[in-house]
Amino acid sequence: MTVSTPESTGLTSTHRYLVLTICCASLLISVMDISIVNMALPAIRDDLNASTAGLQWTVDAYTLVLASFLMLAGSTADRYGRKRMFRLGLIVFGLGSLLCSLAPGINTLIAARAVQAVGGTMLNPVAMAIVVTVFPDRAERARAIGVFGATAGLSLVLGPILGGALVDGLGWRSIFWVNLPIVVLAVVFTSRYVPESRAARGRRFDPVGQLLVVVLLGGVVTAIIESEKRGWTAPPIIALLVLAAVAAAVLIPYERRRDEPMLELRLFRSVPFSSAVVIALFAYSGFGVFLFLTTLYLQSVRHLSALDAGLSLLPVGLLICVLSPLTGRVVGAHGPRLPLVVAGSALTLGAVASSTIGLSTPLPVVLAIFLLFGVFLGVVNPPIANSAVSGMPVSMAGLAGSLASVGRQTGTTLGVAVAGSIVGATATTDPQRFVRAAHVVWWPMIAVGLVVVALALISTSRRARLTVQEL
């Protein structure tokens, strides 16, 4: 339930759509930052003499922090005010972008990326809550949410192209400069036009649960990334995995005892919801692998410029923009089964085809294979969102959506970590070995795609749908 202050009532249509524009701008820069940074990885590697692990952390420091703190940011905004938290997020994101642009070394860049992500956690979930608040009419709200969601697809189109143009023209630091004027304008317009709102009863902060989530995710990701250099049997790697396992073992019983847990375990009684989170985790691990390996392949193996590499991904982004709204209509009319089956099948076929790409594979063939990932990414998001919140009590819909977002960010983080740990130093030294290692990465992604298909069939069965009613 949302409480609207006098400032948020009686808004004109123009005012509401101005607020939507501000929220979409925040989504654009925070989501685009994932794809735009990937295009700069080879330039960052050369300029800062970064290892493959350093490149992994440049991506994963951002997505890992997002995954760890999304729920905290959402609940804090509900309690203390969404406008206040959104504006703070913009400022922190802008500060992180400035620090990234000034980073003298790879470790400083990684730390600045984490600062950026702290700001990012206060943008996307809070922006969605603001949009829902300022559009009380259900039909108008649906259209606004559609525009908001399409912005994510647009960011994937613009990210590689803008990133490639900036890297080629002004250097990799410019990909962070571009955020600054957008942030400044967004802060000014937020202060002037975005109404304040908060939940009638915000959830209490759960510091122990939050710490356990950070230890669990951080331990697993750090172990995967560092295993390539140290080996899986190294004491630090074993210690990290044990620490993550202990955190997981403690987290579930601890959260079960709390009256207002950060992780609402009873939501997982719903098979569609549980499947949506797992599908998000698996699907976006495939996305993370695709983006990380493709960027390095196009620039380091095929020696394309950053701009040409970005343009090579343009068809993928366009497919996402076209298919996402169409898929939303299919989900609304017929349910999530067909889009999820198509998404899992496209990921499977894309992984099989990618495992055949070599040093001299004709570029048109490579780009045709990329289209399979465009289909996958274009149809996977609407059914995940629908399955996560469909049938949920109104009081839990926001939390359910946040958990699905955590699954996406965690999957992206793990995909990059696994891909980087397998290709290792070959990403910077030996194109032939890199291609062979990339083939190894794609084989488990075939299984990931098949799991998505299986969960699509299981989660949309009549018996699975009945479990939602038990909440």
Q: What is the DSSP string of 349-377?
A: HHHHHHTT--TT--HHHHHHHHHHHHHHH
- Can you give the pLDDT at residue 138? 64
In this prediction, residue 142 carries a pLDDT of 61
pLDDT of residue 3: 47
Under 8 Å CB-to-CB from 427, ≥6 apart: which residues? 52, 55, 296, 300, 420, 434
pLDDT at 97: 93
Cβ–Cβ under 8 Å, residues 428 and 51: yes
Q: What is the pLDDT of residue 255?
A: 79
Q: Which residue in 172, 176, 171, 52 sits closest to 113, CA to CA?
A: 176
Query: 4 by DSSP, 3-state: which?
Result: strand
Cβ(94)–Cβ(184) under 8 Å? yes
Cα dihedral 103, 223, 445, 268, rounded to 10, equals -100
**Structure-token match 């488990």, residue found:** 444
Q: What is the pLDDT of residue 390?
A: 62
Give per-10-residue mean pLDDT for the chain (471 aa): 48 84 84 80 87 82 81 74 88 94 92 91 79 74 67 71 84 90 91 78 72 84 76 84 89 80 74 85 88 84 83 82 79 82 93 90 91 88 72 58 76 81 68 85 91 88 71 53
Cβ count within 10 A of residue 19: 25
Predicted pLDDT of residue 429: 65
Burial of 457 (0-12, 13-18, 19+ CB in 10 A): middle
What is the structure's pLDDT at 392?
Answer: 57
Q: How confident is the model at residue 368, as a pLDDT?
A: 92
Rounded to 5 degrees, what are φ and ψ at 3? -100, 125
Q: How far apart are CA 131 and CA 83, in angstroms?
A: 11
Q: Is-contact 78 198, C-beta < 8 A?
A: yes
Cα gap 139→175, rounded to integer Å? 37
In this structure, the number of other CB atoms found within 10 A of the CB of residue 386 comes to: 21
Please give the helix or strand (H or E) that residue 276 lies within, else none.
helix 271-296
What per-residue confidence (pLDDT) applies to 157?
64
Contacts 24+ apart (CB under 8 A), 3-6: 3/197, 3/198, 3/199, 3/200, 4/133, 4/195, 4/197, 5/195, 5/196, 5/197
The CA distance from 44 to 315, in Å, is: 25
**Amino acid type, 452:** V
